[in-house]
Every structure is written in C-alpha cells, then in structure tokens.
Amino acid sequence: MGKVIGIMSLKGGVGKTSLVSSLGTALASFGKDVLLVDANFSAPNLGIHFNLIEPETTLHDVMARDQNISDAIYAVGALDVIPAAIFSNKKLSPLRLKEHIRPLKKKYDFILLDSPPSLEEDGLATLYAADELFFVSTPDHSTLSNTIKSVNRSNERGTVINGIILNKVHDKDFELTLEQIEDTTNVPIMAVIPHDIDVKEAQANFKSFVEHNPKSKGTREVMKLAATLTGEEYKNEPTGFNLIKKFLQIKPKKQEVNREVLYERIFGE
Ligand SMILES: Nc1ncnc2c1ncn2[C@@H]1O[C@H](COP(=O)(O)OP(=O)(O)OP(=O)(O)O)[C@@H](O)[C@H]1O
Ligand SMILES: [Mg+2]
C-alpha cells in the first residue's frame, strides 16, 4: 500500500506547490510510482507547474461526481498528476478527498497532496486524507506562528507529522534558527532549502527545480529527503565532499540527523 503525504502550510506562498513538484520528481527518480494531487481547491496551480493548462478532467470534476478519478490522471514524465480546475463553480465537499484518493493507494508508492494555505474545509481535506504530513515553513515569525497553529491542529487529529521543510532560507542572522523553530513547534526540520531564483526559472520552464538544477543545494536537500522516504541511497554529494567532512570531523547538520531518525522510524525494526 502506498503512502499519502500531505504538504501543508497555513501561510501562503511559502513553497508548498514547488516542493510537491520537486519532492515528487525526486521520489520518481528513485523508481517509485508517484502521483501528485492538486488539493488546493480554490486557487490551484500544480497543473500549471507541469504545463497542464486546461486539462479536460480535473479533481473538481471527480469530486463533483461527474467523472471517474482515473480520467483525471495525467502522465507527466516519470510521474502522474491530478490537476484541479482553476475556474470552477462546481459544488463539492473537499472533505471527501480521502475516499476518492483511497483506491489509488494500491497503484502508487507515494501520493503527494498539495494543499491550500487554509485550515478551513479545503485545507482540512488534506489533513484528513493524509497518512503523514510535512509542513513547509520559512524562517520568520509570522510563518512560524501559522506553522504552530497547523501543527496543533494536526496533533489534535493525530496525523503523523514527519517534519518541517524549511524553504526560502537566506542564511542571514535575522532569520529564525533551526533550533528556535524546532523548540517552538516540537517538530524536527527534515530539509533546509535556500532561497534560490532558479526555483522561479524552473517554474517558468514548467520543470521542477530538481530537474532544472540537479546540482543546487535545494535539489540535494530534496533528493536526500526523498532517499530517506524511499530507503534508497543518494550519493550525489560534490566529489570528495564526504571524505573531507569525515577528515575534518565536521558535525552533521541538524536536518541530516533528523533524516537518520526518520529513516529509522520508517525502515528500522
Ligand atoms: N526556495 C525558493 N527560492 C526562491 N523562490 C521560491 C522558492 N520556493 C518557492 N519559490 C517561489 O515562491 C513562489 C510561491 O511558491 P509556491 O507557489 O510553491 O508556494 P505555495 O506555498 O504553494 O503558495 P500558495 O499558498 O499560494 O499555494 C513561487 O513564485 C515560487 O517560484
Ligand atoms: Mg500552492
């Protein structure tokens, strides 16, 4: 049975959709069957990331019970995508997402849900449909306060929280540190992705940033996270980097240790 992983944040524009596209691409690069679902019912744009501009069948059509879910699945390179309708007046119940997705768990190893920046019904749909969650956050107070709120809501629901993906990091002193974010949320940080203009360039070219810039720091972090989730090894560090790290006895980064713990939780006995 595959896993449904929700990618959430209550704050808009922090990078949920970009990460669904990149983490999905990374998981597929390890040979996994991956489906990405645009569960941002009111302002969907995951389809646009994959150049699916006016798909004939969308999640809205499926949820309004007009269409079979298999009609809304589009193959894009190595992965499958269910886009949502940008302009739709169809009445639907977002909370029924879980029952629509459930049969697909037999077919896919990973189903990633892109969510809206909301904890109303449309956002709760992802929380209820997901087996596990990642929260996307940026290292500032306003996003952190929203992250705490959604972590609390997920804890009430009892959904497994895998961790936080910290995005758009500038590495500046005024930013919140990883320790501050972990201490206040009680959630481990699983990847740290720099602010990188290439992410926008990738999007303009209808590619995930993992594909567009395979050697960037952000890509390496996403690949390592995907490797943790799949149990595969990711060896693409710059040449000799691991040896130098070992020789200089450089302490592993917080997110590296956290990924080891997550790996143990998933694959350990
Ligand atoms: N690491 C990054 N560096 C620079 N720009 C980024 C990064 N991640 C995302 N972006 C840019 O930030 C903008 C918002 O990203 P995205 O649409 O993925 O956020 P979102 O959380 O899904 O937004 P929404 O809440 O509206 O759905 C996009 O223009 C995207 O290209
Ligand atoms: Mg989005």
Specify the pLDDT at position 146: 95
- Here the tokens at position 263 are 């790996």
Delimit the domains of the chain by residue range.
Answer: 3-267
Q: What is the DSSP string of 203-224?
A: HHTT--HHHH-TTSHHHHHHHH
pLDDT band at 241 (very low <50, low <70, confident <90, very high): low
In the CATH scheme, what is the code of domain 3-267?
Answer: 3.40.50.300
| Ligand 1 binding pocket, CB closer than 6 Å | 9, 12-18, 40, 117, 167-168, 193, 195-196, 199-200, 203, 218
Site to substitute for ligand 1 among 200, 216, 217, 222, most atoms within 8 A of C-beta: 200
- Whole-model pTM: value is 0.95
Dist. CA 23 → ligand 1 center (Å): 14
Average pLDDT in the 144-151 region? 96
Which secondary structure element, helix H or strand E, spans residue 141, and what is its range?
Answer: helix 141-157
Out of 11-15, 48-52, 242-246, least confident range: 242-246
